[in-house]
Amino acid sequence: MSVVPTIRVQEAGFDLTAETAALSAGRVDVGGVASFVGLCRADDGLQALVLEHYPGMTERAIARIVEQACQRWPLTGCTVIHRVGRILPGEGIVLVLAASRHRVAALEACAFLIDWLKTGAPFWKREEFAGGGERWVAARAEDEARAQGWDGGSGAAG
């Protein structure tokens, strides 16, 4: 059975419990759901993160990464929700869920998805600090290396 993933780019927050429940609602073949929730930290007096994206391309890039995960692991469901706009410390930024009959596929697919989301989907983070300072977050070489570590699996590049 082919997976119908849930992919959303939205300003609003997300509900981990509700999204997790949705992946097994009405079915008894799901053995596990792996999740990753990325949160906004208050490093260096950060007051907010402001996330920008490329409407249209961002959704397509995420869909392509999800498609790669579905080809690579026998998933029963998959959810990616990425927030944009202004996000405060402690709030969620991104939610990744991967469901499968068995844990290994779910856990590996979840890690693959977040590694590729970091380097292969067009989002940009700007940090706002107390006192009005701001700076754009720089890409990290180790994030790129982690994504490439999945055999260059997604074919995307950021």
Q: How far is the CB of 139 from other proteins (least distance, A)?
A: 3
Residue 152: partners with Cβ closer than 8 Å, 6 or more residues away:
none
Q: How far is the CB of 112 from other proteins (least distance, A)?
A: 12
- Kindly report the three-state secondary structure assignment for every residue of 32-92: EEEEEEEECCCHHHEEEEEEEECCCHHHHHHHHHHHHHHHHCCEEEEEEEEECEEECCCCE
**In the chain, what is the greatest distance between 2 CA atoms, to the nearest angstrom?**
53
Residue 62 or 75: the one with the smaller Cβ distance to other proteins is 62
Residue 73 or 116: the one with the smaller Cβ distance to other proteins is 116
Residue 76 or 83: the one with the smaller Cβ distance to other proteins is 83
Q: How far is the CB of 116 from other proteins (least distance, A)?
A: 9
Q: How far is the CB of 100 from other proteins (least distance, A)?
A: 21
d(CA 157, CA 23): 29
- Contacts with other proteins, residue ranges (CB under 8 A): 38, 51-54, 56-57, 60-61, 82, 93-94, 114, 117-126, 136-139, 143, 156-158
Residue 31 or 158: the one with the smaller Cβ distance to other proteins is 158
